[in-house]
Each structure stands twice: as structure tokens, then as C-alpha cells.
Amino acid sequence: MTNILYIHGMGGGGDSRIPSILRERFCSNALEGCGTVNVVVRTYDFDPEIAHAQITSWTEELRPALVIGESLGALHALRIVGMPHLFVSPALNTPLFFRYLAWMSVLPGVTELLDRIYRPKDGDRQKLHFTYRVLRKYGKHRKMALSNSVRTGSRDKHFAFFGMQDHYRKSGIVSVHTWEKYFGNSYVMYDGTHFMEEEFIDSLLMPKILEVLGHKQ
């Protein structure tokens, strides 16, 4: 069995949409490798230190052939060294914005307000709690993640997908410029949003996964 470890974004979890679709595709008779590829996604803690320990443990357990990081999950994926990586809408600059949120969170009522605004959907989802202590940890988390980049001499393979209509690109949370700075031109743009639509999962993400895993298309 070939394992793929899928690392969801902020507020995502074990029932996130994209890995669910990927599982369906790998169970389709139309794809070679059906029944031999297992897409694993598990809900991790919002605290990046706790999350890294969880994900490290899962990596040791699963020995994945590929890691996929979505949105804020891209930083967690980058900290897994020694294997190929794919990224969907990598939000590499989120910690820069968390730095400002951290200071705001010390004001009375702000943490409670943010927790309400960003309350996850029902189901197996990451619980979010925007405290100063947790938000400040993301700066170090980002620095450690980006140490595994082409710019720093990493030999890992990295490839990203960016939606041209991704609303997070306007704020810079998702930035093609930042990606190019650390990883060069190893990416593709698609005519979609931050939340990769099913048509692009089929036309772009699945073929790239099969290519990385060495399956015939």
C-alpha cells in the first residue's frame, strides 16, 4: 500500500473535501493503482508545536510516498523532509498576519470574537483558538518550514497549484511571489479559487500525483 499524507488547511480536518475526492478517484476502476494508494488526512491541533509533533508521528507511522499540503497546511508539509511535496494554494505568509492578530488578541474580547468568526464547520474539523501564545508560535514555524526550500538547498521536490481567483492572493497570504522567492517556477496557475474545484482536481492534481508516484496515466 502506498500512502499519501494530506495535510489540511486552517479549520479543515479528517473530512476535508479534496482528500475525500482523491480517495474516490483512487477507488475508481478508471485509474491504475486502484486499491493500492491510500490518502490519509487527520485532524491536527491549531498550535503549530503540537501539530508538528502529531504530524511527525503520523509520518513515522505511515511512511508516505508523497505529502500534500493545502493552504496553511503547506507549512506543516514543508517541515516533513526527505520526500516529494505537492501544495494546493500554499498560504506561506499566514504567520505574518498572525503576528498582528497576536497583539490584537490581548485586547479583551478579541480572542472570543475571532473564535466565533472562524468557527469551523461541523464534523471532524480542527478547533481554532486565537490566543497570543499560539499565534506567536507561527513565526518560528514559518521560518523552520521555509528552511526546507530550494533557496536553502533542499533536495526535496516541491510543486504548487495557485488559483487565479484565490481571494487570499489580494492580501498576500497566498503569494506567487513568495513561492518564486523560495521555490522558483515549480508551480502552475489554474482558473479557479483558493479551494481547488473538482474539475482542477481531476485535470491537474490527480495527474501530478500519479506522475510523482510513477503511475501510468
Among 43, 50, 20, 58, which Cα is nearest to 195's?
20
Q: What's the CATH number where 12 sits?
A: 3.40.50.1820
- Whether the predicted pLDDT of 29 surpasses 70: no
108 near 132, Cβ under 8 Å?
A: no
Q: Which pLDDT tens digit goes with each residue over 140-186?
A: 999 999 999 999 999 999 999 999 999 999 999 999 999 999 999 99
- Whether the predicted pLDDT of 191 surpasses 80: yes
Does a structural domain hold residue 188?
yes
Among 215, 211, 201, 209, which Cα is nearest to 86's?
209
Give residue 216's pLDDT band: very low, low, confident or very high (50, 70, 90).
Answer: very low
Q: Which pLDDT tens digit goes with each residue over 88-113?
A: 999 999 999 999 999 999 999 999 99
Q: What is the mean pLDDT of residues 113-126?
A: 83
Lowest-confidence pick of 26-40, 48-62, 167-181: 26-40
- Whether the predicted pLDDT of 217 surpasses 60: no
Please spell the DSSP secondary structure of 44-80, one letter per residue: --SSHHHHHHHHHHHHHHH--SEEEEETTHHHHHHTS
Does a structural domain hold residue 16?
yes
Lowest-confidence pick of 21-30, 44-53, 141-150, 193-202: 21-30
Q: What is the DSSP letter of 152?
A: G
C-alpha atoms less than 13 angstroms from C-alpha of 183 in its C-beta half-sphere: 25
Does a structural domain hold residue 129?
no
Does a structural domain hold residue 202?
yes
Does a structural domain hold residue 163?
yes
- Per the structure, the count of domains in the chain is 1
Does a structural domain hold residue 154?
yes
Rounded-to-integer distance, Cα 85 and Cα 81, Å: 9
Q: What is the mean pLDDT of residues 14-21?
A: 94
Q: Which residues are within 8 A (CB) of 55 and not within 5 positions of it... i.e. 6 or more apart?
A: 5, 7, 44, 76, 79, 80
Rounded-to-integer distance, Cα 127 and Cα 133, Å: 16
Q: Which pLDDT tens digit goes with each residue over 65-92?
A: 999 999 999 999 999 999 999 999 999 9
* pLDDT score for 114: 85
Q: Which domain holds residue 85?
A: 2-93+140-213
Does a structural domain hold residue 75?
yes
Whole-number Cα distances in Å, 92 to 35, 73, 99, 169 = 33, 9, 13, 11
Does a structural domain hold residue 32?
yes
